[in-house]
Amino acid sequence: MTQGQKPVCEVCIRIRWFMAIAIPLVVLIGTQSDLPMPNIPLHDLAASGIIFGLVVLFAWRFYEYRRDRKALARLLERKAEFERDPNQDT
């Protein structure tokens, strides 16, 4: 198998994301200047982002739960229909 065809492990992907965030952060910390920081409430922005992410995550999980429940109901309905008439061709 060539390098491009090998599957990438989940740990490697997480390490790459960590490096993509950590390296620029270290560079920013290392290049600090004496300029005053802008008056942006970073804690409010972070809290709003976390709440937004939680709402999106909850909505996605709820959507998956409903989708799976409907699929299971359809499957059980087809199974019951098949058990009622096993000679029917599909």
Above 90 in pLDDT, residue 86? no
Domain segments of the chain: what residues?
Answer: 8-32+41-84
Q: Tokens 């709402």 appear where? A: 55
In whole angstroms, how far apart are CA 42 and each of 13, 39, 48, 61, 64? Answer: 28, 9, 10, 28, 33
Calpha distance 6→22 (Å, rounded)? 26
Estimate to the nearest angstrom the gap between the alpha carbon of 8 and the chain centroid.
17
pLDDT tens per residue across span 19-40: 999 998 888 888 877 777 778 8
Predicted TM-score (pTM) above 0.75: no
Calpha distance 79→86 (Å, rounded)? 10
